[in-house]
Structure 1
Amino acid sequence: MSISSHRRPASRKRRKALAASLASAAVLAGAGLLGVGQPWANAAANVSFDTGSGLSFTINGANGNMTSLKHNGTEMAASGYAAGQFESGWSSATVTSKTFNSGSSILVSVANTSIGVTQYYFARRNDNTIYMATNIGKALNPGEARFIARLKPSLLTTSPTAAKTGGFTTTVEGSDVFADTAGRTASKFYSSQRLVAQQPFGARGTGHGAYILPAYVDMTSGGPFFRDIEVNDTGSAVNITHYMFSGHQQTGALRLGLHGPYALTLTDGEAPTARSMDFLASFIPGMLSNAQRGGVSGTASGTWNGLRATVALAGANGQYWGQVKSGKFVIGHIKPGTYTATLYAGELAVGATRTITVTAGATTSLAMSGNVPAAGTLFQLGTFDGTPAGFRNADKIETMHPSDTRMAAWKVGTYSVSSGASGFPMAEFKAVNSPTALSFGLASVPANGVRLRIATTSSFAGGRPAVAIGGYTSPASASPAPVNLNSRNVTRGTWRGVNTTYTYTIPASALKTGANTLSISVVSGSSGETFLSPNFIFDALALDPA
């Protein structure tokens, strides 16, 4: 009789512990943690990974949601929410994983073939970061792409104030702009950075911080000055979002292919610094290494009136930019392909565009030139820079709704150009402050009349300017319909759209020596209430002899 036959049967408690241990081992084996490069064996099981330095996470094997995200043993996921997911999550997905370097790193792939998207998660030992990329194979419905982490507000107590909507009970607009009892507004849209200057963003609290590292944004759309939602504390969750594409005043089309990499990193509260993610080309399918990319270097010249100049590239394979310093610029990490190059002074495109072809492993030369529009000689309000900077409320519009009680009045009566741009409203709304009267003086009437330029940065619902003075009313041909981006603009905290300049030739017969009053109105075939009525945003106004 064997020795084992004399052992007493295991207790129920011990049998449960043994079963749990075997189940854990099965998950580890399935996740590839017991072998180098071992693929996931059971797509229905969850995938977990612990970096060993404070971050651990779990990917649901059935739908690909990140169901758990822990920092130093504390669960970060908000109650009732996934810790992270593409869009709002999927009901089902194919989840696979593979480990590298004796299990010290892991790549989890989450594929939804019905919509043509694969989400990648990569993590490694001793690095409290989850690196991600998103492969988008076809057009999306709804037309947006984002990764969103929904984490606990009790742990992440500090985030952009203007985007803290928890406790704001009055709906101002749609289901995304709110007000408190004092009339102060908040919205998820009021946390954003221009891509050209974007830094890691997120939220922090005592002992915990969670931040998105944007890294590669070459497959996003909208150019260097585009901005989108980043951080929103709703009271029930702190939403930290990396947008790859949206319909939020979007000026470019969705680019198909691999978006990223980008990352979600956990800290003890401090904001992280940007970092290179080039190493991920060895792990993420379809990611080009730096050696497989090219570069552009060159010169830029022109009159920019002290504005910072930027050279930007845009093509089917991506978008890239570099800022001009001492007349020179360098742009790296460019996917091979053909691009249109544009020179910007501030946010205004100047000069002619150029077509350039980038090849792998090579640096292509490019020379750009362009001047900002000439200043008005009879008067000018604002600066031709592609932004409403300097106009009334322009310093607040990125973080407040136009109805916010902290905004200065939008109606200004008859406004004198001699007062400068600071008291003139940055935007004109058909149902709020249209028409606006602008007074100016002429020492004498130019024999051929005058030429008025009104430069705009954006429009909504077809809004564009029309003018009247004396017996003159501008013809419809002088106010062609603007590009329709089919999106709210200024109420979402952005002026970025399609820059357009309208030119009006006013005859001498409509003018007089001395004081003149110009009426500027919003024209549109559409209508709307208050700040959702047709509108446009001023860049600059200039008057010259015709």
Structure 2
Amino acid sequence: MSGTDPRPVRRRTFVLGSAAAAGAAALAGPLAPHASAASFGWSDDGSNYVVDTGAGLVFKVSKTNGDLTSLVHRGTEYQGYGGKNSHIESGLGTSTVTVRQSGSTILISVAYGTLRHYYAARSGENNIYLWTCKADSSVTATRYIVRVKAGKFLNDEPDSYTYAPTTIEASDVFEKSDGQTRSKHYSKRRVIDYDYIGWTTGSVGLWVVRSNHEKASGGPFYRSLLRHQSADGGGLYEILYYGENQTEAERYGLQGPYVIAFTDGGAPSSSLYHDNLTTPWADSLGISGYVPDSGRGRVAGVGIAGRDAAYAYTVGLANSTAQYWGSARSSDGYFSIPRVLPGTYALTVYKGELAVYTGSVTVSAGSTTTLNTITVPSSNDPGNASAIWRIGTWDGTPSGFKNADLMTYAHPSDVRAASWTGNVVIGSGSETSAFPCYLWKDVNSGLTVYFRLTAAQAAAAHTLRIGVTTAYANGRPQVTVNNWTSSIPSPPTQPSTRSLTVGSYRGNNHTFTYNVPAGAWLTDTSQYNVLKINVVSGSGTTGYLSAGTAIDAIDLLA
């Protein structure tokens, strides 16, 4: 029996009291028939509905507000810190809470204004299935936080600030005595990168397995806080709409299930992952907004032509009510996106994180929409343009630039960051690694790039391009080439919240173009032309919170 199974043999032996029962239970899973658990059921202690899954997990839900008030696994309480419970947002307030049992499933329903939230337990499982249905903006954001007692899962990861006593930004970015920075925002991961988040002691694992995020906002590359650990306790999050670094409007409707899962220390069972999990047992529970698999469709693409084999490609579907995505097969670009709600969607093909193709697709319930080979026009990929020189790659990310990897899990002031200043020389062989991934008005504005041109190149006008992935406080580049200065470009639409200092370069990709006249170049081919990039904006404050931007690529076209 694998240590990652959510209901391993040795736990079942204890619960059912016989090796034979344990063997039968070992065959069970979220997609398999459930073994009966003698203690499975619910009760009412006056303040809470108490659910015993019959597998060593007992949890309580407040009858007053729908908070998860207790989470006991094998006799150990994990829930809560600082007098706070686990709940939607910071707690919903007075709600209508009901419970009912349907065979091997117990469903607790929470009604708060127009919002509906659900907890479901299955006989013999150490899992709690959750759904959240948000109908409008009466609740400001959409997250569920599992609050965990201090000391249960100690760590010192980027999103842990137990040992980081000095606050360096707002009230959520901290610095340790060794100069390393910590924040709950430093998850390292994009939504597309993870199936679950949590901790393990080696003998007990506590996880939140994420949903498919069909009602979330931000697409496959969105970054947000996923967990934290501090001296007070820990938190695990399912973030659906946080209002930070958002590139899309909020979507409404039912989201889930996402799962709170206990294990014997290993990862949660892959059968719980959003790509694998089906819940036919929930089809008739009356969950608001629930659409069974029979009411969904699938999109399949034969392939994608015109790809650059050096990059991974992702296909996204999005409209105002739902979003989905799938990876394109590296060999031919085939993709399949299942369980899509009926409707018409914008279809986007991403090279890395850069959109290089857009189209439209209509999905019907119970059927597959098959698409012929999608061809990405060569002109849609800026990396195909002939360039005199290029810094970075056109993939929609700052990958390869100085400090780029570190910035997904550290503050720019972190001791591990290389200097944010320094000039760049084309032809040095270190153009990209020497160029900082972020530019700020108050930190490294005026960064200089030196390059030579041939006589023929210097005799013609050329287009300079600067691609960015996001910006803070309307920061955007104005350039000077020798004695020629560009106009100040208009700021593109970008998220209005912090990004560069909270682990995210993800905003709206935008390319600035500058038509540099032939008269701007030096005619002496032995001399270096000097490109100076300044960050301009009337917004922002100082330091790393001054106006800034994240770089995708820079090139001078032939």
The two structures have a TM-score, normalised by structure 1, of 0.88
Once the two structures are TM-superposed, the CA of residue 301 in structure 1 deviates from its matched residue by: 1.7
> In the alignment, what sits opposite 2:333?
327
Structure 2 counterpart of 1:87: 89
| 1:203–1:209 contact (8 Å) kept in structure 2 | yes
Shift of 1:47: 0.5
1:297 is matched with 300
* Bigger mean CA offset, 147-156 vs 421-430: 147-156
Q: 2:375 aligns with which of 369, 376, 380?
A: 369
Residue number in structure 2 paired with 1:62: 64
Q: Secondary structure at the match of 1:509?
A: helix
- What is the one-letter code of the residue matched to 2:452? G
> Could you tell me how far apart the structure 1 residues matched to 2:77 and 2:145 are?
17
Query: Aligned to 2:145, which of 125, 145, 148?
Result: 148
Written as runs of structure 1 = structure 2, the 5 A alignment for 1:338-417 is 338-351=344-357, 353-367=358-372, 368-370=374-376, 371=378, 372-373=381-382, 374-413=384-423, 415-416=425-426
Code of the aligned partner of 1:190:
Y
> Does the 8 Å CA contact 2:392/2:553 hold for their aligned counterparts?
yes
Matches of 2:88 and 2:81, distance apart in 1: 18
SS of corresponding position for 2:151: coil
Any idea what SS the aligned residue of 1:397 has? helix
In structure 2, the CA distance between the partners of 1:412 and 1:140, relative to structure 1 (3 Å rule), is: farther
Residue 487 of structure 1 deviates from its aligned partner by 0.8
**Which piece of structure 1 moves more, 278-287 or 202-211?**
278-287
Pairwise CA distance, 1:355: 1.8
Q: Does 1:516 align with 2:529?
A: yes
The answer for the alignment partner of 2:465 in structure 1 is 453
In the alignment, structure 1 residue 138 sits paired with structure 2 residue 144:
no
What is the Cα deviation at residue 378 of structure 1?
Answer: 1.0
**SS of corresponding position for 1:378:** strand
1:455-470 aligned within 5 A: 455-470=467-482
3-state SS in 1 of match to 2:501: helix
Contact 1:462 1:524 in 2 (8 A): yes
Matched residue, 2:319? 315
| CA deviation vs aligned residue, 1:283-325 (integer Å, no higher than 9, x gap) | 3342111111001111322132511111110012310111111
Is the aligned partner of 1:433 residue 2:444?
yes
| Residues in 2 aligned to 1:369 and 1:140: alpha-carbon distance in whole angstroms | 43
Closer/same/farther in 2, CA of residues 448 and 259 from structure 1, 3 Å limit: same
Write the distance in 2 (CA, Å) between the matches of 1:437 and 1:334: 48
Indicate the SS of the match to 1:108.
Answer: strand
TM-score, structure 2 normalization: 0.86
Give the corresponding residue for 1:475.
487
Opposite residue 443 of structure 2, the aligned amino acid is V
Partners of 2:397 and 2:451 lie apart in 1 by 23
**Range moving further from structure 2, 45-54 or 489-498:** 45-54
How far has the Cα of 1:236 moved from its partner?
0.9
Superposed displacement of residue 510, structure 1: 1.1
In the alignment, the residues of structure 1 paired with residue 557 and residue 458 of structure 2 have an alpha-carbon distance, to the nearest angstrom, of 9
Q: Look up the match of 1:47.
A: 49
CA distance in 1, matches of 2:180, 2:96: 45
How far the C-alpha of 1:416 sits from its partner, in A, is 4.2
CA distance in 2, matches of 1:108, 1:269: 27
Corresponding residue number in structure 1 for 2:260: 264
CA distance in 2, matches of 1:217, 1:70: 28
- Aligned pairs for 1:179-328 (under 5 A) are 179-205=175-201, 207-274=203-270, 275=272, 276-279=277-280, 280-283=282-285, 284-298=287-301, 299-325=303-329, 326-328=332-334
Q: Which amino acid aligns with 2:325?
A: W
1:77 aligns with 2:42: no
Aligned residue in 1 for 2:24? none
RMSD (CA atoms): 1.9
Q: Contact 1:82–1:149 (CA<8 Å) still a contact in 2? A: no
1:43 Cα offset (Å): 12
Q: In structure 2, how many angstroms separate the alpha carbons of the residues matched to 1:199 and 1:527?
A: 36
Identity %: 37
The answer on whether the counterparts of 1:39 and 1:96 sit within 8 Å (CA) in structure 2 is: no
Secondary structure of 1:161's aligned partner: coil
Q: Deviations over 1:312-352 (max 9, x none)?
A: 1001231011111122111110000111001110000003x
- Structure 1 residues 281 and 317, CA gap change in structure 2 (3 angstroms): farther
Which whole-Å CA distance do the structure 1 matches of 2:256 and 2:327 have between them?
21
Instruction: Indicate conservation of the 8 Å contact 1:415/1:424, yes or no.
Output: no
Amino acid at match of 1:293: R
Q: Which runs of 5+ in 2 are unaligned?
A: 1-40
Give, in angstroms, the shift of residue 414 of structure 1: 5.3
* 8 Å Cα contact 1:191/1:230 also seen in 2: yes
Pair 535,420 (structure 1): closer, same or farther in 2 beyond 3 Å: same
- Give per-residue Cα distances to partners, 1:509-542, cap 9 Å, x unaligned: 1112231110001011213110000001110011
Contact 1:343/1:369 (8 A) holds in 2: no
User: Distance between the aligned counterparts of 1:201 and 1:227, measured in 2?
Assistant: 14
- Asked if the contact 2:42/2:49 (under 8 Å) is kept, the reply is no
> Is 2:154 aligned against 1:157?
yes
Larger Rg: 1
Contact 1:107 1:121 (C-alpha < 8 Å) held by counterparts: yes
Q: Is contact 1:417-1:438 (8 Å) kept? A: no
User: What secondary structure is seen at the aligned counterpart in 2 of 1:442?
Assistant: coil
Whether contact under 8 Å (2:200, 2:265) holds in the other structure is yes
Looking at structure 2, the residues matched to 542 and 474 of structure 1 have their Cα atoms a distance apart, in angstroms, of 16
